[in-house]
Amino acid sequence: MIDKLILDIKEKTKGLNELETIRYVYLYMGLMVNFDSNFIFRNKKIKQKIYYCHINKDTFNRILVDKKIICKSLAYLMEYIFRCLDIWCVTKFLDDQTDFNHVYNQVKLKDGRVLDLDLQLDLVNIKAHLQSKYFGNIDFKEIEKIDYKLGYISKENYYADEYVYLIKSIICYMDFSDKIEFLLNNLDVYNDTFNMEYVEFYDFYMKRLDLFLSDKEKRKIMPLNMYIENKDEREYTLCLVLLIKDKIIYVYDKNLKKFKKVKPQELKDYQSVSKIPKFMRVKKE
């Protein structure tokens, strides 16, 4: 599978210059893969197994099947792809004094420029049609021109960042509960979250809410990572509890593809990664 992917990328990047090719791969892979939720929410033993697994072509083929990555496996996959395209690339480890050091890529262009690329951190931005934040120190106008050429943006569908200013002007006079309801229904401008896996989905909504809420308002929201366990697999969904007098609970419904208000008893089949507040606890029959 990885060999076929390389051939496909070579075909699709014919006529592109070096930087355009790098950008194409960055966006293409950013739309394809998702962060492995097991590495976020499972125990240390499972995290170690994921982080320290042997990296080879079989690993890359598995990624192309299940689309699950962590920073390390993605960085090595990106290095392999770039080297097959005759682009200088190395995988770098950030000494961040944690059990699992963060991993990213560095590429060197033939014009001498060196770019640090961190696709794992940019996954949510690419999937949400936002401006990327970790594609080296490239001038915005140069990136914008390339993104137009690659079709990532157009005059009709520009970066979704531009809607931030519009939303801020709409919600500025709303009370807290109305503001949250409006944001949950309108943050996903292009319906990009429909195809996100849970880690990027959570990241998208929490970072977007962070843009629009004051520090005082943020303290009124309790996010809960809820899940239903089916054998060894967990299906996660985001629950947001508004810590106000009437205690409003929102949960994302994958079938309806939107957040809905629920009562505690409607969550009786779910478990939470963290402790839930007392008023949400319901005895199972």
pLDDT digits (tens, 9 = 90+) for 48-75: 999 999 899 999 999 999 999 999 999 9
> 87 falls in which pLDDT band (50, 70, 90)?
very high
- pLDDT number for residue 19: 98
Answer whether residue 285 shows pLDDT above 60.
no
CB atoms closer than 10 angstroms to residue 42 = 15
Residue carrying the six token digits 């961040």: 96
- Say what the pLDDT of residue 195 is: 78
Two tokens, residue 116 = 């640090």
More confident call, 189 vs 216: 216
| pLDDT of 282 strictly over 80 | no
Give the mean model confidence (pLDDT) for residues 175-199: 89
Q: Are 13 and 72 in contact (CB under 8 A)?
A: no
Confidence (pTM): 0.88
- Give the model confidence (pLDDT) of 130-179 as tens digits: 999 999 999 999 999 999 999 999 999 999 988 888 999 999 999 999 99
Beta-carbon contacts of 40 under 8 Å, excluding residues fewer than 6 positions away, are: 199
State which H helix or E strand residue 64 sits in: helix 57-66
Domains in the chain, CATH or no CATH each: 2-150 (3.10.620), 180-280 (no CATH)
Reported as a single tens digit per residue, the pLDDT across 10-48 is 999 999 999 999 999 999 999 999 999 999 998 999 999
Distance CA 144, CA 150 (A): 10
The reported pLDDT for the residue numbered 283 is 65
Mean pLDDT over 63-90 rounds to 97
205 falls in which pLDDT band (50, 70, 90)? very high
32 CB burial (10 A radius; 0-12, 13-18, 19+): middle
Question: CA 121 to CA 118: how far, in whole Å?
Answer: 6
